[in-house]
Structure 1
Amino acid sequence: MSAIPSVNLADFISGDESRKQKFIKEIGNAFENIGFVALSGHFLSEKLIEDLYREIKDFFNLPQEVKDQYEIEGLGGQRGYTSFGKEHAKGKKEGDLKEFWHFGQYVTDNPKLEAEYPKNLHVKELKNFDQVGKETYKMLEKTAQYVLRALAIHLNLEESYFDEFIKNGNSILRPIHYPPITQEPKNAVRAAAHGDINLITLLMGAHGKGLQVKNHKGDWVDAIARPDELMINVGDMLSRLTNNKLKSTIHQVVNPPRELWGTSRYSVPFFMHPISEMPLNCLENCIDQNNPKQYEDITAGEFLHERLIELGLIKA
């Protein structure tokens, strides 16, 4: 079994105070101790999940020259297609063995942000791709909002603390295709060891071996979710905000055993980002004598810009 604790979001939204508190305690402990949790009771229906996987497989099966039309220069990969091997982990030269697509925020009632964020791209070859992506984005964003409400209570903040910062936030839905491996990779894995930049990540598709998490002893442990579960982890922004009370855990996607090299892997992370103005200054109630302030004050937008440069996605 996976060493990652399981929780059920239905407990938090049940209207039963004891079940709500149970969820808060379980997810708080998991995020303090390993930084990962497997979550059921989310807002994605089985049909939506099936539809999404069908659409993304159809997209990645399109001819390379068609996919390349959706790779837009100068966007830092924020929307549309990013081709194979283009992204690398912080501190790595070798590109990861993956290609991916980005759906971004669907801004409501905020013309300033609508002008600031790049537009989502329309895939003309697949009539349902855009709509299924948008619906998945919305359901994952809704799930993430409730998870952050539980974490706000765990951190002795108002339950709605994160709501104003994540409304119209710069979140990204990233369907990833790890193609079959055709030759011995030189120092490259499907996704090299890294921490995520954002507040929290919700991952669809961690149902087989591949995703590994580094625990606090420095051991790599398999993170495997049930088919009805999302894997959720703490990102660097939340770790920074909580002065490392909630841990952003290093994780990787390793290459499969040689007999499975001929298979594709698909996974779909949703990176929950706040609006750029959110301050990531360490919370006062996470600073004390035993845990002095570990980070300089910074906004989410400034931090994201720094990290995209480190990842090679934008130029300094």
Structure 2
Amino acid sequence: MAHPPIKRGSHSRIAIIDFAPFLDGTMKQSVADIMLSSFKDVGFVYLVNHGLPKYKVQAMFDLSKQFFDLPMETKNLAPHPPSGSHHRGYSAPGIEKVAQHLYDKDEIAAHRAKAPDVKESFEVGREGDPIQPNIWLPDDVLPGFKQACLDFFWVSILNHLKFKRHDLRLTLPRLVPLSQICDEIKFKILSALALGLQLPEDFFNQFHQAPDNQLRLLHYPSVSASSLATDTVTRIGAHSDFGSITLLFQDNIGGLEVEDPNDPGQFQAAPPVKDALIVNAGDLLMRWSNDIIRSTVHRVRAPPGLVAPNGMTPERYSIPYDFDKVVECLPGTYDEHRPQRYEPISAMEYIMKRLESNY
């Protein structure tokens, strides 16, 4: 008998979903329905047995740490441009100040004058993108870093091969770069959401053909717990993600908090779950679904229970992997009783608008 594909920890309302019954086909519709239900409820899920090889994810975390351990002047050899419209390269702590739907210049300036976001990041996109070309360290600095990022990001024709479900989990991780596995899992997640929405299983594939994904390496340096508690500084402020879905790899430190959609301003911890991948919906998927799916505000604060005797919080690393496309409200999400809430919009147009307010 198949095991139930869901459980909930006492610490969180976010569903912990066993994705294996979807991958092997034994409980596809059940997993799809549960995933959609959690996306409707809180916009986040934990996925276990997702097929992503732990050792390859850890290798990327190790290389991320090597990068952020470099001297500041070395990291600044790959500088993020002043404008958010070219979202590539390295940003030092305090450069980016995440904003939630601020577009007026005066409002943005007032927001940026508040407590800085004490994090540093490195942004990677599609190699050869004429609009947002990648910005790399010189080749002789941290050899292998560029290729590792591209291997993590890269999308190949293997995305659309019909892998056997057990091969995806047991064989594929040792044969291809992690990025190809990420992208294959992305399509499986989108397939599950399509089934949950009573759409053809491959409905979303047509909108995710081009490799317009975003890889972020994030490092939150150690800061005093008191400065976080008094909002003198922030890790990363409350915000929603821009694209369709985000795959979030996080270390074992914690600090991620998700806002209660039914009680704005109240946040609940979303601590690391062993071997789980966090998946959350972004603004474009919320628009796509005509607000059936939630794009939930979240933030990073002090990890609970891990403050050192000297009052300092531990440093934290995470790797978000985002996906986005052109969207309009999906068939079946609107009718005479539930009108369309959004006009069609280019994903690039929307994302550039959001990024401009962050830098």
Task: Provide the TM-score with structure 2 as the length reference.
Answer: 0.77
Give 2:236's aligned residue. Answer: 191
1:239 counterpart SS class:
helix
C-alpha change, 1:57 and 1:69, in structure 2 (3 Å) is same
Q: CA 1:122/1:45 → structure 2, altered by over 3 Å: closer, same or farther?
A: farther
Shift in alpha-carbon separation, 1:15–1:122, aligned structure 2, 3 A:
farther
CA distance in 2, matches of 1:211, 1:149: 27
In 1: Cα distance, 2:251 partner to 2:197 partner: 28
Deviation at 1:72, TM superposition (A): 4.0
Q: Is the 8 A contact 1:100 1:175 kept in 2?
A: yes
Distance 1:57 1:244, change over 3 A: same
Q: How far apart are the structure 2 equivalents of 1:41 and 1:202?
A: 14
Aligned residues: 300
| Paired amino acid for 1:216 | P
Residue equivalent to 2:87: 78
What's the counterpart of residue 127 of structure 1? Answer: 143
Instruction: Determine if the alignment matches structure 1 residue 11 to structure 2 residue 9.
Output: no
1:149 aligns with: 191
Alpha-carbon distance in 2 for matches of 1:225, 1:210: 9
Identify if the C-alpha distance between structure 1 residues 203 and 226 changes in structure 2 by more than 3 Å, giving closer, same or farther: same
Judged with a 3 Å threshold, the aligned counterparts in structure 2 of structure 1 residues 122 and 220 are, in CA distance, closer, same or farther, namely same
Percent pairwise identity? 30
Assess if the C-alpha contact under 8 Å between 1:51 and 1:132 holds in 2: no
Secondary structure, counterpart of 1:284 in structure 2: coil
1:55 counterpart residue number: 63
Provide the residue aligned with 1:30 in structure 2: 38
CA shift digits 1:17-49 (9 cap, x unpaired): xx1112101101110111100012234212212
Map 1:111-126; keep pairs closer than 5 Å. 114-119=129-134, 121=136, 124=139, 125-126=141-142
Letter in 2 for 1:89: V
Distance 1:75 1:169, change over 3 A: farther
| Structure 2 segments unaligned to the other structure (5+ residues) | 1-8, 103-110, 154-178
Instruction: Look up the SS of the partner of 1:31 in the other structure.
Output: helix
Query: Does 1:294 pair with 2:341?
Result: yes
Structure exhibiting the larger radius of gyration computed from Cα positions: 2
Question: 1:97, 1:189 within 8 Å by CA — same for their partners in 2?
Answer: yes
CA distance 1:126–1:214, shift in 2 (3 Å): same
Asked if the contact 1:104–1:173 (Cα under 8 Å) also holds between the matched residues in 2, the reply is yes
Give the whole-Å Cα distance in 2 for the aligned partners of 1:263 and 1:136. Answer: 26
Q: Deviations over 1:191-210 (max 9, x none)?
A: 11110001011111164431
Quick one: distance in 2 between partners of 1:222 and 1:237? 24
- Partner residue in 2 for 1:226: 273
Does the residue aligned with 1:285 lie in a helix, a strand or coil? coil
Deviation at 1:153, TM superposition (A): 1.8
Cα gap change, 1:42 to 1:227, in 2 (>3 Å): same
Q: Kindly tell me: are residues 75 and 127 of structure 1, through their superposed partners in 2, closer, same or farther at Cα, counting changes over 3 Å?
A: farther
> SS state of the match for residue 42, structure 1?
coil
State the alpha-carbon separation in 2 of the partners of residues 172 and 120 from structure 1: 13
**Matching residue's letter, 1:149:** S
- Structure 1's unaligned 5+ residue stretches are 108-113
How much has 1:65 moved relative to structure 2?
0.2
Q: Which residue of 2 aligns with 1:201?
A: 246
The answer to whether the 8 A contact 1:176-1:267 is kept is yes
Partner of 1:265: 316
Are residue 88 (structure 1) and residue 97 (structure 2) matched? yes
